[in-house]
Structures are given as C-alpha cells and as structure tokens.
Copies of this chain bind each other. A is one copy, B any other.
Amino acid sequence: MIPGVGDRPTLQTVAEAVGVSRATVSNAYNRPDQLSPALRERILEAARRLGYAGPDPAARGLRLRQAGTIGVLVGAPLTYAFRDPATGLFLEGIARAGERAGTAMLLIPSPPGEDPTAAIRGAVVDGFCLNCVPEGDPVFAAVRERRLPTAVVEGAAGEGVAHVDIDQRGGARQAAEHLVSLGHRRFGIVVARLAGDRRIGPVDAARLESALQPVSRGRLLGYRDALVRAGADWDAVPVQEAGSHGFDAGIAAARAVLEADPGVTAILADSDLLALGAMRAAAEAGRRVPADLSVAGFDDIPLAAQAQPPLTTIAQPLVEKGEAAYRLIQEMLAGGPARAVQLPVELVVRGSTAPPVTGAP
C-alpha cells in the first residue's frame, strides 16, 4: 500500500497534491527558509484545502526522540493533587518553568486498585518528576525502569536521581521551639500520614518507627526533637494521625487531641490545612485562638495568611520546589549529572500563636 493513502492526510498526501516531495512539505513547516516563499505558500494552501493537520506530533517525537513533555506523579490518587493547596503550588512551579520552556506536563494517574505502573510505562515523556512518593513504592521502581531523567521531590532518594527537598525536621523543630519559647509546655500534635495506608488514630512509638512517608515522618521527628529538649514527657504528648492533609481531617484530629489531653495549650500541625482545621475545632470547643490555644502549621499556603487569626507557620518555597525540580530534570536532559537541592524554610510568626494564659511549667 502506498503510504499516505489512508483516511487522514499526511505529509505524503500534501506532497502528491502539490507535486513535490515529502521532505519539501516537511520543510515548509519546520524550516521556512529552506524553500521559496511561493512554494511554501502553495504547500500550506494545499494542506489547508486537504485538511492536513500539520506534522503528526507522535511521528515527529519518534523521529526526534523527544516528547517536549515531562511526566509528573504525585504520591496519591491524582484527584487529591487538586484539593491540596501545597501540592497545587508545587505543580504550579513545574507548570511555570515548563511554560517558559514551552514544555507541557503530563499528569500520570496511579489508580489505587489497578496496576499503577501501566501509565508510567506508557507515558510519552522526556523525564519524570515524582512528588511525595514514599520509599519502596512500586511507582518508584517503574519510573526507574524507564531510565529517563528523574527528579524526586520530598521522597526517597536514589542513585542517578535528582533530588529536591526542604529540611522537614529542622523546620518542624523551629515551629515547636517557637511555642516552647512562648512558654508552652503541654502540646498536642497532628500529622497527616505516616504510611501508605489511610490510617486514622493515635500514633505510638512503633508507628513512628515504621513510618515510610518522609514528609510527616521528618516533621514529627522535628517536633519530638524540640519537645524532648524542652523537657517534655514525649510519651505523654498526644499525637494524632489525620489520614490526609484536609481541613475536615484537621478538625477531627484536633478534636481527638483535645479529648486525649484537655490540658494542651498548643497544637502543632503537620500542614496548614490541618492547622486551619485545628483552629476550627478549637473554636467549636469554645477555645479562642491564640488566647486559649496556640496553633502552628507548616507550608505557608496563601490561606494561612488569610485566615483569622492569620496562621503562624513554617514557610517553605512551594512554587520554587517545582521550578527547581524542573530545572534539575533539564540539566540531566542536557547531559548533566543528577544533583540534589535543599531549599530553605523559615518560621513565620503570625496571630495564631501567643504565650499560654497560665504560664505554669
């Protein structure tokens, strides 16, 4: 069969109509300077007339060995990515860097039930960016098998893989130290998730020990660092796993904490949305923030500053995280080595934290 005689017009179809070669038609699109303007116009005109949609990106990608796309995986069902502002801002960073370079981003789903690696094997991309993929996740192995430039953000490091992170533990420590320095001695803690399961409930030593989620794990360890150093009885500190980063999850978790120890004067939350939920739970319990209860978050999403009172939190450069990941991938695409980048965090004191009313140690 003669090529280009299918139903969809191709380069060949146009070439035959105009009476030139495929190469010339290709040049009309990709190298206008390689042919006379008159011929080019004739070709483009014929293409319009024939309904030719322009060079097929799939074929072109095969030939050029590049897709102009990077694949993004978030360590949770994709639907979650659009609910969590922190994840959203991270994606924004990638999008922003990609927009500058004209690169699109492919959001790769990992359906919970099915084989989550199928989409990874089938992704037409030049590189991968993984966000919050826990250690030992099959997704990580599947990505590595593609042998494409890969950046991991807040997740398991690996040989030949670029890495972007923040100082989770140090940041959390700062938040706790801030509250200690205000005079607080009885704390409650809310964390999102320590493992891949969606467990909700109190966290004991074993659970923390076996935690796989590097983010919540690191932050919880940071809280512990500061509280232990301040002389708190760690085993008496109520720690509640919320199951997710959601506002409602934060309400429920904070309720559990306040129930476990009504005497807490401060709540440390793993993320801003949880903290916002904790503030709401406090209000429902008749406690004013910060007069009766201090609350600190983590991330500094825009909502944190807009809340009432505005939330004290650990600011991390969410958008920059995405931009950095994109940059590291590009470096590898250009033949460079896999680098690791650590981004700074910063304590932002706002209105949700204050000295406890009863300063009793």
> Residues on A close to B: CB < 8 A?
51, 53-62, 65, 67-69, 71, 77-79, 81-83, 88-89, 91-92, 95-96, 98-100, 102-109, 111, 114, 118-119, 121-124, 145-148, 247, 280, 302, 306, 308
Contacts and interface: CB of A to CB of B under 8 A. Distances in A.
Given A82-B89, A280-B306, A308-B308, 20 more contacts: A51-B147, A54-B121, A55-B121, A57-B121, A58-B62, A58-B124, A60-B122, A62-B62, A68-B119, A68-B122, A78-B92, A78-B98, A82-B95, A83-B88, A83-B92, A100-B111, A102-B114, A103-B119, A104-B106, A107-B107
A146 to B, nearest CB: 5
Contacts of A103: 109, 119
Nearest to A112: B99
Contact of A124 (B51, B124, B280, B302): B124
A59 B62 contact: yes
A92 B88 contact: no
A71 B111 CA distance: 19
Contacts of A55: 121
Contacts of A62: 56, 58-59, 62
Contacts of A122: 57, 60, 68, 104
Nearest to A280: B306
Given A88-B82, A88-B83, A106-B104, A145 B95 contact: no
A78 B95 contact: yes
B107 A104 contact: yes
A137 B306 CA distance: 34
A56 to B, nearest CB: 8
Contact of A69 (B79, B89, B106, B147): B106
A59 to B, nearest CB: 5
Given A104-B106, A105-B107, A107-B107, A96 B124 contact: no
Contacts of A81: 92, 95
**Nearest 5 pairs between A and B by C-beta?**
A82-B88, A99-B109, A78-B95, A82-B92, A58-B62
B302 A247 contact: yes
24 contacts: A55-B121, A57-B121, A57-B122, A57-B124, A58-B62, A58-B124, A59-B62, A67-B124, A71-B104, A77-B99, A79-B92, A79-B99, A82-B95, A88-B88, A99-B111, A100-B111, A102-B119, A103-B119, A104-B107, A104-B123, A106-B106, A247-B302, A247-B306, A280-B306
A91 B82 contact: yes
A68 B109 CA distance: 12
A108 B95 CA distance: 9
A249 to B, nearest CB: 12
A154 to B, nearest CB: 17
Contacts of A121: 54-55, 57
Contacts of A147: 51, 53
B108 A104 contact: yes
A77 B99 CA distance: 8
